[in-house]
Amino acid sequence: MAGIACARTLVQAGHRVTVFEKSAQAGGRTATIDSPFGNFDAGAQYFTVRDPRFARAIDTVPGICKRWSANSVQVLDATGRVAAAGLPHREAHWVASPGMQSLVATWAEPLRQAGQLVTGTRVVRIERDSVNAPGWQLRTEGPGGTQRVYAGFDAVLLAQPSVPAQALLASSALDTPLTEALSTVAIAPCWTLMLAYPQAVRPGLTTLGPQWNAARSTHHRIAWLARESSKPGRNVIERWTVQASPAWSAEHLEDDEGRVQAKLIKAFAEVTGIRAEPAHADTRRWRYAQTTHPLGRSHLWDAGMGLGACGDWCLGHRVEDAFVSGLELALAVA
């Protein structure tokens, strides 16, 4: 979100931009994962809209974003009982359709068509341009370990979590104030569990377990649960996304994926009462999921060196924080 928001703003200002994305497609933690039973929002579950600039940007892609009716998020105790009334109705919960990744992917499409989005490629080193100093060149690693150098850049902007951004600057031996600023940010990890129950779709039965569609939990393993099939534009097959608590995720960050999955399925059954065997189960580990100590300003920009950084971690952990960070970095550069 931050990188594409930044890139599209720079393009609109007349700059030539190349986006390097290590995954197969842009999206980051708005990732949508497909399964035989429908998709799952493996990272960001929904977003809110407070900044009018974000609202205007969403209006450029009508029909992509839809209101999710799960505004009355339940609060559960450790055993799954509703511990408090639904959170007060303060603002609309929005999702992109058919998956959360759709918004970033739609905004990224003009960049892809113009050949300005290089996917499946990781930047491993930032160097001064050997031909056109004081510009920059990038050493990259692509599919199968293929290596390539891209050159001719006036500025390099890092739209990634603070820890890998700091590591890239360090491995590139770059002396910039960005490094110290990045070290002040703290981000917690998250294990995500995705479950499908196609047996719930039959006459007289549409859902399993609780009647609510989203909840925050105080169970020591689980922090969030959402019925994916309740989101607009989704497959009706009963599907749940479960996000582990930051503390439990950190404690079990390097555990075997199968062991993590088994423990989270057990906790899911305890919280929801759904003890049926899922037809599909998958897990995703996010090393950098939720900002616990943000930077405190919208972006980092070292104009003297032409180096910048942006991401939700600058302001918090909301989708809109990522958008605002990318936008304001672009405005500082432009």
Which tokens go with 247? 């503390």
Which pLDDT band, with edges at 50, 70 and 90, does 76 fall under? confident
Radius of gyration of the chain from its Cα atoms, rounded to whole angstroms: 21
Which tokens go with 299? 């972006």
pLDDT in tens, 3-32: 999 999 999 999 999 999 999 999 999 999
pLDDT in tens, 151-208: 999 999 999 999 999 999 999 999 999 999 999 999 999 999 999 999 876 666 557 7
Which pLDDT band, with edges at 50, 70 and 90, does 211 fall under? confident
d(CA 140, CA 121): 6
Place of tokens 């493996």: 42
pLDDT in tens, 133-148: 889 999 999 999 999 9
What average pLDDT does the structure give for the chain? 93
Distances, alpha carbon 282 to alpha carbons 151, 241, 258, in Å: 40, 10, 9
Q: Is the pLDDT of residue 71 over 60?
A: no
